[in-house]
Structure 1
Amino acid sequence: MIKKVKFINYEEEIYKIFMDQNNLYCSVSNKVLELSSGIEDYCLEYFNNSIWIAFYDKTYRISLIEICLKYNEEIKLKKHFSMETSKYCNSIDLLEMNIKNKEQINLIFRGWNKTKTKALIYNNKIAASNNLRIISDGTSSGSSKPYMVYSYEDMAYILLCEENPNHEYVIYDLLNENITTSFNLANAKNISLITYEQQPILFYSKKVSNNLELKFRNINLDKVDEVLKDEISLDLPKNIKDPIISTFMNKVYVVWKDEKGINTAKSENLKEWNFNLYKNKPISASIIKVINNKAEKINTYFNANIITNYIYSENNNNIQSENNLINISGENTIENKIKYINKISELTRKYNKRYNEYLRRINELNKIIDEKDRLIGELLNKR
């Protein structure tokens, strides 16, 4: 089963990185290369005309590879780094990467003890020699999302979601390797940290009158005081579970699942939203579009059948622009148009039937009138 698909739109090509079962592949122009096997999970970043991929296998070995994109359709693979984590932890379950330059590649992962009762967050700075540090003491062991990486321009931070009675969140500077600030935010769930209008924005869910509502705040990542700005509510449906929030091409996207299917909301100003619903079986995927050697990224869901067919397709023309990149997940738009056309056709048939009935009755009336005129004519002639 194909899963965890990522599309990289680089110049005239679409590179597709994906897992099938537990194997990791790269596909471009109908060529498919197996990158590694026995993979548990992976992450990737675009940097300097290359796709950098970090992954860990069933033995919890972390590896880093590079696919250079300057060779057009040829998949040129370079192995950079491999590390056994067994001497630091018994297992890992999360892995993220941040790249500022070749001397500043950070791999952040959560490692568990043998009984899986305590977990530590590690930061490994890859340079001439590895620099592994513990950046969390295990107070986030019970969280499914204990940290998130925020990167913009020359900044790189980790937001650590600590578990304690004070609902404390810690900002860790990846570049300077120190804690810059912390803040308290009670009753917040589904935390996301993104860049919007060149500023970091903190999104979260909060219970209000027994309903979960999406909120956001501007956040100062390097200030000790006044870290959070005023809370602002979003005009989105209530009780959204596990929303995925991204910025892509100057727009904010909120994606979530419910009993109806996959929902997406898109906004250019965080006030007005356009909604779509995808009912077909989805798989999670990401789009990375490279513009002027910088990457724009959106996390979303795609129709499984479309993605499976597209993975091995030669035709990349379907997703060369922003609209088409987004619309690869928007088969429902076509479906809705077809439903609309069918509805119009049904109404047309319905009214055509009525119209034909009216015509039949009018014809009958015309016959009666003609017969009446004939009879009147005959009576007049007899006089």
Structure 2
Amino acid sequence: MSETGSISSATQSNPPLKDTTIESTNLDSVDTVASPVPTQGISADTNTDAATTTAPAEEVTIPKVTEANVEHRFLLSLREAAALIGKKGATIKRIREDNDVKIAINASSPLCTDRILQCNGSIENVSKAIVDCLKVIKENVNKPTKPFSFSFLNSLMSKPTTSDFKNVKTDEDLENVQSIRLILSTSMIGAVIGKNGNIIKKLMEDHDVRIVASKRQLPDSFERILEIQGLANEIAECLTVVSHIVLANRVIDPKGERRYVPHAEKHARNNNNTNTKKYTGSVVVPEKYVGTLIGVKGSRINNLRSFTNTEINIVNFKDEATNENKSRFTIVGKYEKNVKTAESMLIRNLEAERVKSKNREARTGGKKSDNQADTNVSKKGDAVNASTPIAVEF
């Protein structure tokens, strides 16, 4: 399997299976977080108004299988994927050879901000390979300073602290805390959680990790994210147990378990197509006022373009009816409101200039009159009452 080998997906469209999650508080309402809960004695998370002791928990048995191979898929950011591939694929090749696994990252897709790491091999070797992957990411990828646009890449739990782990005692240890985003079907998520969350709680207690099961399914699929957070070796040990759970609950014919394939979400794909409709309007201006409306070196018209976020093109023509030279200011914009605003401001300023011109002519004794500005407005009600013209600076 090559470094950029594509990953196939099923295309069934049966309704998703029932989503089994664990109640949580003070965290993102979109996802479900399972927090470590002591099985006996005094609970550190117990509300003071509730009972402070709990009965011994029912013993949880996690299945073990003898099958040799397991296949896991993990969600990666583009930077994580690039680091794992390495120069000319050298890094992922080394991980493959050192751990005797089949490992590949799907080819990148346009407008897509995520990729998938697929790893196949013995349970033990796959876990070791993931430890190597985490080391590469820690050494080569800085922690993100802002959220990813694809929300599933963002951590589903609160920022880790030393109080969240038994083996993380210092801030230096905290720097070594990492996460993996394991992709599992909805039914498999339920198997990992267990009845009343008993399995996922045991996983966290036994392996000193935090685990989040997302409520939302990945786009166009019946798969979700299981985020496991902790030290690399602890994550690997937890993943080993999860592998046994996955194999023990594997569906031979997974109808309806449509797999996730990285691609731009619908809203992202349509980004280039939104607001493709153009609204237009125009104002016809006598030649004598064109220069004033444009401004020195185009300053006024440029300000109008910027203020209304529209395109304004000016075309000179000769009015056959009046034999006068005029200019047509054509306004084009993505939003009707912006086009109307630009039209209104042009008309108001034009009428203000006409009043100023008439006042100057009156002072000089001239009785010249000029034609009213012709306007061609795209929608009814766009015309502006010019009986009391107001100059709007732009």
When the two structures are superposed, what TM-score results if normalisation uses the length of structure 2?
0.23
Higher strand share: 1
Structure with more helix by fraction? 2
TM-score by length of 1: 0.24
Query: Rg bigger for which structure?
Result: 2
